[in-house]
Amino acid sequence: MSENSFEKDSLGWQFHKLQQKFGEWWEVQTSQTAAKLPGVDLPYWWDNPIILMIAKAMAWLLFAFLLSWVAIQIIRLLNPYIYSLRNKINLTTKIRTESQLELSVTAWLNQSQKYQEIGNYREACRCLYMAMLQGLHDRGIICDQPSRTDGEYLELIQQLSQPKPYQKLFITHQQLLFGNLEVSAAVFAECQQAYQQITDEKN
């Protein structure tokens, strides 16, 4: 690329061209105004280069103000979604932190059964998910880390010989957190079956 073409592609050169076009536009406007008012003498400062520079500066300030206003409006529109996503990520981290309390797999399964008995299938599924995570950690397959996302876990379990039952529990957990999944007895039964397949694989 030649130095000349680089200069024409640079931001400074484009800004210079924009200023030049604005100057030409200003001259056309002033000449048209003068032509429309043949009997009126325009003020001496009307075609002054300093006035032209001030007009350019005001135009850029107006452009910057409008750009800032649009950016603020977009941020305001997106803020509820950003806030909601941040809360969900914090909730996932909180759930993962609970697993650091090192509840045993048996304890998670017992809690799952208790929630199932009272019809709280959402928590029952979550406990199966936590039992699966703790089992992976205990077996040294995937160490549990609070910062690790479900997406990262899903990538890691692809290396397992039978990843499908793990995927079922992970995907159900994601739907519980982000998709407002209505958890019925049938959904819990599917998760329970997936966990049973994991248990059978271990044995």
Taking only the tens place, the pLDDT of each residue in 96-150 is 555 444 578 888 999 999 999 999 998 999 899 989 888 888 888 887 676 777 7
- What does pTM read for this prediction? 0.50
Taking only the tens place, the pLDDT of each residue in 28-51 is 666 665 555 555 555 555 556 676
The confidence score (pLDDT) of residue 7 equals: 54
Q: Give the tokens for residue 17.
A: 């061209």
Residue 55 has pLDDT above 80, yes or no: no
Q: Where are the alpha helices (DSSP H) in 37-161?
A: 49-99, 105-117, 121-138, 150-157
The single-letter code of the amino acid at 175 is: Q
The confidence score (pLDDT) of residue 30 equals: 62
d(CA 131, CA 119): 19
